[in-house]
Amino acid sequence: MSSSTASTHSAESARGFVAGDPNDPARRTWITVASCAGAAGAAAVAVPFVSTFTPSEKAKAAGAPVEVDIDGMKPGELRRVEWRGKPVWIVRRTPEMLESLKKTEGQVADPGSARKDYPTPDYAKNQYRSIKPEYFVAVGICSHLGCSPGEKFQPGPQASLPDDWAGGFLCPCHGSTFDLAGRVYKNKPAPDNLEVPPHMYLTETRLLIGDDRKA
């Protein structure tokens, strides 16, 4: 066989190796090797990217404290953050909201936060259930079946609420209602007030949720 013939035969063989019979074992082996190499390359690119998120995800799972900037919050505003996979509310209450707590004092089931299912920190065992009356911090999960209540800050008659509604929170699942300090009203399915998580103020405008060792 001449050198030119041998070259032509080799080229044809190479082409047949790649584009020949799809059932050819040699071809399947080549495709498998190439696919694995490509996947390995993609993994090599992806791993450094994913690893940048690993520490924060582990910290969240472990319940690491969450720092929140409350500077600029307007009176009546509710801000949501996440801690331990749970929604946490920060509400900047207006003077009218704070005044309403006097009205609801005799209507709620546990005004002094004495129940133990969701223990309230000592610094929040007051009428406002907070360190600073103006700011209310609570886990936004109903103590009944774990639904998330909605804010119903507007006082007065409205759907699913009493005519003398003073403002607060309504759980859409079974109708449990809470006042603007997260205290559950009497004769409602929820067995306890909304949970107040451990928290403290780092500065006048920086709030740490999940840690209260300096409170």
Name the segment(s) of the chain with CATH classification 2.102.10.10.
65-209
Can you tell me the distance from the alpha carbon of 143 to that of 174, in angstroms, rounded to the nearest whole number?
11
3-state secondary structure at position 158: strand
**What is the CB neighbour count within 10 angstroms for residue 130?**
22
Give the model's pLDDT for residue 146: 76
Give the model's pLDDT for residue 34: 40
Any idea which residue has 């928290």 for tokens? Answer: 199
| Furthest CA-CA distance within the chain | 107
Enumerate the β-bridge partners of residue 135. Answer: 92
For 135-159, what is the mean pLDDT? 93
Q: Are 89 and 140 within 8 A, CB to CB?
A: yes
* CATH superfamily of the domain spanning 65-209: Rieske [2Fe-2S] iron-sulphur domain (2.102.10.10)
Is residue 111's pLDDT more than 60?
yes
For 142-153, what is the mean pLDDT? 91
> Who has greater pLDDT, 215 or 160?
160
Question: Average model confidence (pLDDT) for the chain?
Answer: 79
Give the model's pLDDT for residue 145: 84
For 111-139, what is the mean pLDDT? 94
Which pairs count as long-range contacts for 182-185, CB under 8 Å and 24+ apart, including other chains?
Answer: 182/129, 182/136, 182/138, 183/104, 183/108, 183/109, 183/110, 183/111, 183/113, 183/129, 184/108, 184/109, 184/110, 184/143, 185/104, 185/107, 185/108, 185/109
Is residue 156's pLDDT more than 70?
yes
* CA-based torsion, 158, 162, 163, 168: positive or negative: negative
CA 109 to each of CA 19, 24, 86, 177: distance values in angstroms, whole numbers, following the listed order: 78, 77, 24, 11
* Confidence at 214, pLDDT banded by 50, 70, 90: confident
Residue-wise pLDDT for 45-82, tens only, equals 333 333 333 335 555 555 789 999 999 999 999 999 99
Give the model's pLDDT for residue 61: 52
3-state secondary structure at position 115: coil
Any idea which residue has 């007051």 for tokens? Answer: 126
Q: Are 183 and 110 within 8 A, CB to CB?
A: yes
For 132-156, what is the mean pLDDT? 94
Give the model's pLDDT for residue 62: 56
What percent of the chain stands above pLDDT 70? Answer: 71
Name the DSSP class of 183: P
Is residue 29's pLDDT more than 60?
no
For 121-131, what is the mean pLDDT? 96
